[in-house]
Structure 1
Amino acid sequence: MKSKTGLLKEIAEFLNEETETYSMLDGALKRLVEGTDFATGWIFFIDDTGNHQLVSDYRLPEALEQNDCHYMTEGPCWCVSRYHQGRLTKASNIITCSRIVKASRKYPDGTDDITHHATVPLQSGQERFGLLNVATPLKKSYSEDELELLESVAFQIGSAVKRIFLTEREREIALTNERNRLARDLHDSVNQMLFSLRLTAHAAASNTEDDKARSAFELIEATSQSAVNEMRALIWQLKPIGLEQGLAHAIHQYADVLDLNVTMHVDGLIQLNNKEETVVFRIAQEALNNIKKHAGTAEVEIIIDQLTAFSMTIKDSGKGFMVKSAKQLPTHGLSNMRTRAESIGGTLLITSRKDSGTIVTLTIQGG
């Protein structure tokens, strides 16, 4: 066991060098457990609605690891509930942990004699991120010194989370600005040149009497028009156009660029923050791209509903494909859609059958 000062110094040095959230959490938790008498630890991120996510764990007992950490990820518990209520503000002993109790009932020999744990909020200033929990076999209560150490480590981790979040936000802003610049440059230069080329070819084809020359000019006109369409789609990929007029309007506009016939139904008032709206549009964009490239149909139905939770369903009756599970999506683009959905706390369901079309459904709880 390391001295408190030495351990805090080691963790601080590690945190100062980390730039990725999850590797930072894993490394800090590993150093905390290995440098103390704690046998295991885990970290929850908790959102504003009280939903928790297991984002890091180290040396969990076998019972708690069963079924993809089912007992750690499903259902409520005392510490998460108290945290969400704003009543868990410092390192505390947990009288009874419902997660450990449930796991021990199912796997009585798999908890490594762990029955209770200590918990501490992760925060930086007024911003709260979640909970750090630790446990030791055959121990029901943790000393003031141990709780004080947890407070210090939690403060370090909370500060690191805030720093990384701010860095990622700045990176996103810089990336958005660069995308907007590229979109403007493409529109003002390359797109205009292609448009001029198409007009010139059209005029030349109209004014020549040579059949071969006319065919060549018509080919140039058709190719340049295709290039203009591709360029417009690329500009849309870089910068969502029309979102300022609403999500449904922007999706409809993009479908028009792809020459898709969209029937759209909107129920309820769409209320999404800027990030959610952009991500939802990107998912719709990817789904429409896939229909254009692979479905063999131009008919699309889109249903957007926010009477309770937000949901968006995109249907086509095209060629379809075989998919056994959401983790075995057939293209990189479909996998990107799922990743985007998860980035805003959403879930993406894709159902498809050969020659029976595809249905993409995005749901955001509390959206």
Structure 2
Amino acid sequence: MEKPTRLALLKEIAEFLNEETETYNMMHGALKYLIEGTAFTTGWIFFIDDASQPELVSHVDLPGALSKDNCKYMCEGTCWCVQAYQNKRLTKASNIINCSRINLANRAYHEETEGITHHATVPLRSGDEQFGLLNVASPNQTSYSEEDLELLESVAFQIGSAIKRIILTDQEKEAARINERNRLARDLHDSVNQLLFSVKLTAHAAQGITNETVSKNAFNLIENTSQQAVNEMRSLIWQLKPVGLEHGIVHALKKYSEILQIELSVQVEGLINLPSVIEENIYRIIQEAMNNTKKHANTNTTYLILAQNATSLIVDIIDHGSGFDLGQSQLKDSHGINNMKQRSKMINGHMDIKSDKEQGTHINITVPL
């Protein structure tokens, strides 16, 4: 099939980016358009947060040597392009003469390189902000033309602008969600919660004015069921609105653990004094982790370490429960885990999850301040 012209390709990518609203899908789709519409045969994107942790978020048609063991050679060690990006020395599309990651993969699986030995790289940027690296390669090609590099610059700028747009849109949506959650929490507390509490009190009083066993049992059942509903409603209200957060994140989390009926062991290092946006999102991440412990870990104890210094906030959430297999494909579709990762990225944080079956779970979040 004939490749589109450069202008037509940029138009196709721009139209796709304007419609996409999810960051990872957007990056993968744009990369696929680029590879399918040019002479490049493979490409990959590193998403790099403010903590300079490169994450391989997308790749298209990697040769066997680079895709082995879940892209092991793409994800381990260091390379010139990432180091140059981190040191602010990579500002435009460049030829990479010697890539240590490709070299290691080619040494290990020489017969599966498909001729890929060198690649071109370009930072994903919007204005002064940078978000990661776009890399492309072709078989038996050791350098790429100025025309190729100019095309990469254009595509990288399109992707960077789309990332920035999605970030701003997500922030606006999150602010709207917080306002709506607060409104729902108020409505539930002022109406449904009060009605349930009234039913409970009425059932309790009715037990004292009847001598019939059947009636007493019925009123007792109504009272107990109403109390369970009140407890569930309180938990729901706490999930919608972190009541008590104005007294500090530790206070709010302790209160929430009481509602969940789990034990929360907290260790604090340094003075925890956070901007409200960071505090709200960290609270939500820990809240989700506690919910997961309650539902899935087969343990009623969560250990929390909060450490703040002059440059960062470090959060460790640990349980010694049943754990899970990080390699399970369904984890990629887990709403809870994806929500935690999204919240971490919204505050420029980096989240790492370690877990094994029957070995518990350890979630670490580092947020630059």
Bin of the TM-score, shorter chain as denominator length:
0.7 to 0.9
2:352 counterpart residue number:
347
Segment of structure 1 superposing worse, 211-220 or 34-43: 211-220
Percent identity of the aligned residues?
A: 51
What are the equivalent positions in structure 2 for 1:140-155 lying under 5 Å apart?
140-155=142-157
1:66 counterpart residue number:
68
Query: How far 1:191 sits from its partner (Å)?
Result: 0.3
2:158 counterpart residue number:
156
2:42 counterpart residue number:
40
Correspondence 1:310 to 2:319: no
Change (3 A) 1:151 1:5: same
Query: How far 1:335 sits from its partner (Å)?
Result: 5.2
2:326 counterpart residue number:
326
Correspondence 1:277 to 2:283: yes
1:361 counterpart residue number:
362
1:30 and 1:129 map into 2 onto residues whose CA distance is 19
8 Å CA contact retained: 2:253, 2:283 = no
Q: Counterpart of 2:164 in structure 1: which amino acid?
A: K
Q: Counterpart of 2:78 in structure 1: which amino acid?
A: P
2:347 counterpart residue number:
none
8 Å CA contact retained: 2:324, 2:356 = no
Q: Counterpart of 1:276 in structure 2: which amino acid?
A: I
2:283 and 2:324 map into 1 onto residues whose CA distance is 29
1:191 and 1:262 map into 2 onto residues whose CA distance is 26
**Residues 299-340 of structure 1, C-alpha deviations (whole Å, 9 max, x = no match):** 63634253784312235xxxx65x6623459x99x9555444
8 Å CA contact retained: 2:9, 2:37 = yes
1:301 and 1:215 map into 2 onto residues whose CA distance is 38
1:262 and 1:117 map into 2 onto residues whose CA distance is 49
What are the equivalent positions in structure 2 for 1:145-224 lying under 5 Å apart?
145-224=147-226
Query: How far 1:65 sits from its partner (Å)?
Result: 0.7
Correspondence 1:242 to 2:248: no
1:153 and 1:131 map into 2 onto residues whose CA distance is 12
TM-score (norm 1): 0.85
Give the secondary-structure state (helix, strand or coil) at the position aligned to 1:306.
strand
8 Å CA contact retained: 2:264, 2:304 = no
1:362 and 1:46 map into 2 onto residues whose CA distance is 19
Q: Counterpart of 1:217 in structure 2: which amino acid?
A: F
Give the secondary-structure state (helix, strand or coil) at the position aligned to 1:55.
strand
Segment of structure 1 superposing worse, 177-186 or 43-52: 177-186
Change (3 A) 1:197 1:87: same
**Residues 178-231 of structure 1, C-alpha deviations (whole Å, 9 max, x = no match):** 222221111110100111222222233334454544443333222222211111
2:31 and 2:81 map into 1 onto residues whose CA distance is 18
2:357 and 2:135 map into 1 onto residues whose CA distance is 42
Q: Which runs of 5+ in 1 are unaligned?
A: none
Aligned residues: 351
Give the secondary-structure state (helix, strand or coil) at the position aligned to 1:189.
helix
**Residues 254-275 of structure 1, C-alpha deviations (whole Å, 9 max, x = no match):** 1222444545443444476232
8 Å CA contact retained: 1:41, 1:58 = yes
2:118 and 2:167 map into 1 onto residues whose CA distance is 32
Change (3 A) 1:348 1:246: farther
What are the equivalent positions in structure 2 for 1:31-110 lying under 5 Å apart?
31-110=33-112
1:75 and 1:260 map into 2 onto residues whose CA distance is 40
Change (3 A) 1:324 1:200: closer
Correspondence 1:14 to 2:16: yes
Structure number with greater CO (CA < 8 Å, separation at least 6) is 2
**Residues 65-120 of structure 1, C-alpha deviations (whole Å, 9 max, x = no match):** 11111111112211111111111111111121111111111112222222211111
TM-score (norm 2): 0.84
